[in-house]
Amino acid sequence: MESIDEMKQPTISIVTAVKNGAPYIRTLVESVLSQDYAAFEHIIVDDGSNDDGETVRILREYRHLRWWSRPNKGQYASQNEALSVAIGDIVCVISADDVMVTPRTLSIVAAAWERNPTLDVLYGKALHMNSKGMILPYQLELNGPFASRIHHHHLFIQHCSLFASRETIIRGGIWFDPAFKYAGDWDWIIRLLDASRSVEYVPKALSIIRKHEQQTSRLSSAPRILAEHREVLRRHGGSNSIHMAIKKVHQYWALLRIGSYLLTNERPEVFMSTLVDWWHRRSSRIENVK
């Protein structure tokens, strides 16, 4: 394949692992199809769906997809499998229940590589939506052009808003570690940034993360998730004290954002019940990491 600087348009590979994704996978596929940039491929690994064929029936409707089904091996093994066969110059890993911001995400990414063909990583903002696809009225992401080292202590990048040079991934053998079940994204992004010479931040939303009750993070116990966070910190020389301090700051900042919105737009009882519930959930997660 010719190098990016010899090409008029870099090809972008979108990679997705899915299991029982019928409720949301169509919306993701359509968000990629709705991009105003045509030089892309979308690879989907059906990781052992057992939803009476609903996920597979949806995938069969889209002739442009590169997809296959096989027995369950886990999210990170599936993402590695898709990455290993990707042919794009640039790759993005996005979950089956999330979407790309339309219509210019891929154009923004391609333009960045056309300006700087030696770019290793580009990342941007991520928005959040509810289970019905409505953008949340308050956005709680902390994101910016931070030094790569800060991500050893706390992750400020969502993988669905990160695009990477496939050559950088292949050259460095930067694959997801299947030993993780929850924190593999953080571990992967740290290793990717450490191997990168050129990293660019774009202050635009590139993807939208869906919040719903069937998310792995919501169905799993906080202690198991937090144990994996500690393992990432251990592997990469991160500080649990710094990690916890950032989480605390984020907690109070989010509390102010939510409170401000509810006070302005909702009845007082909605404000109180929502904040009490949110505080209990957040406090429980913070305490479990200690």
Confidence bin at 42 (pLDDT 50/70/90): very high
Closest by Cα among 242, 254, 251 to 286: 251
Compute the residue count for the chain. 290
Please state the φ and ψ torsions of residue 199, each to the nearest 5 degrees. Answer: -125, 135
- What sections of 236-267 are H helices per DSSP? 240-265
Percent of the chain with pLDDT strictly greater than 90: 76
Helix, coil or strand: residue 186: helix
pTM, to two decimals: 0.89
Q: How far, in Å, CA of 3 to CA of 5, rounded? A: 6
3 state DSSP class of 178: coil
pLDDT of residue 272: 75
Average pLDDT over residues 145-158: 95
pLDDT at 263: 79
The least confident of 46-55, 89-98, 218-227, 251-260 is 218-227
